[in-house]
């Protein structure tokens, strides 16, 4: 998202060993026709030796071509793992027979108001990790989700925030959540979700919140 140079600089200057930092980036559909050039540009801008995970941003013309280019960079050790974003049951079923390396991860929209359980189960059955973008509801919708009375009640019971309850719900669904924040307090809050668990009843109550309400188009 136009920040590869800055991320690369941050990694190089952090003092943290490269092996302890996981860096992910994406190719956009307008790059699929010439993926090698796009991948080389990513590597140049990051300047950190290799990319831990590269995704296709969403399905598009030449997506298989772009993915196969990423496969070549995996073989060369320049990319460690590859995946896709915004691929659902039909898309992933059509895609898999055309590629050689099964995506390690599919990144899709997911939050309590859009749980997409059928897709999640299908991807898990394929042995693919699912990662949620918009894990907290997304732009323009986060406030409503964070004020949800069911989530608020569960959070109060555990002496946790609603954000922590939502992130814990994702984890207990075996879904990776990637909340973004530049606020150090929020970052600490986001990672402090490993010292409590939601009960089966609480998980069921959150499941009942599903509205099939998608907050972005892809």
How does pLDDT run across 29-75, given as a tens digit for each residue?
999 999 999 999 999 999 999 999 999 999 999 999 999 999 999 99
HSE-CB for 105 with a 13 A CA cutoff: 21
Q: Structure pTM?
A: 0.94
Structure tokens at 181: 């924040």
Closest residue by Cα to residue 84 from 60, 55, 123, 62: 55
CATH 3.20.20.100 matches 1-103: yes
Q: In what order do the strands lie in the sheet with 24-27?
A: 24-27, 51-56, 79-85, 105-109, 129-133, 175-177
Q: What is the dihedral of CA 154, 215, 130, 1, to 10 degrees?
A: -120
124-138 pLDDT, tens per residue?
999 999 999 999 999
The answer to whether residue 92 scores a pLDDT higher than 90 is: yes
The answer to whether residue 139 scores a pLDDT higher than 90 is: no
Cα 103 → chain centroid: 13
- Give the span between the Cα atoms of 105 and 84, in whole angstroms: 7
- Mean pLDDT value across residues 98-105: 98
The answer to whether residue 160 scores a pLDDT higher than 90 is: yes
The yes-or-no answer on residue 1 being catalytic is yes
DSSP bridge pairs for 64? none
Task: Quickly state the pLDDT bin for 207 (edges 50, 70, 90).
Answer: very high
Which position among 1, 28, 73, 113 bears the catalytic label? 1
The pLDDT of residue 89 is 98
């Amino acid at each position: 998202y136009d920040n590869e140079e800055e991320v690369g600089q941050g990694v190089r200057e952090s003092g943290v060993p490269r092996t302890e930092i996981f860096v992910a980036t994406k190719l956009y559909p307008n790059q699929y026709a010439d993926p090698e050039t796009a991948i080389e540009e990513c590597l140049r801008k990051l300047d950190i030796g290799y990319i831990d995970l590269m995704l296709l941003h969403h399905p598009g013309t030449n997506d298989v071509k772009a993915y196969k280019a990423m496969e070549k960079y995996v073989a060369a050790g320049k990319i460690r793992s590859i995946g896709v974003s915004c691929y659902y049951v039909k898309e992933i079923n059509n895609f898999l027979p055309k590629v050689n390396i099964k995506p390690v991860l599919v990144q899709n929209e997911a939050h309590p108001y859009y749980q997409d359980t059928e897709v999640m189960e299908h991807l898990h059955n394929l042995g693919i990790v699912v990662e949620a973008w918009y894990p907290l509801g997304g732009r323009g919708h986060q406030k409503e989700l964070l004020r949800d009375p069911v989530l608020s009640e569960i959070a109060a019971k555990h002496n946790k925030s609603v954000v922590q309850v939502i992130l814990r719900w994702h984890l207990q669904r075996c879904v990776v959540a990637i909340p973004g924040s530049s606020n150090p307090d929020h970052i600490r809050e986001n990672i402090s979700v490993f010292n409590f668990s939601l009960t089966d009843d609480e998980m069921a109550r959150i499941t009942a919140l599903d509205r099939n309400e998608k907050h972005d188009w892809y």
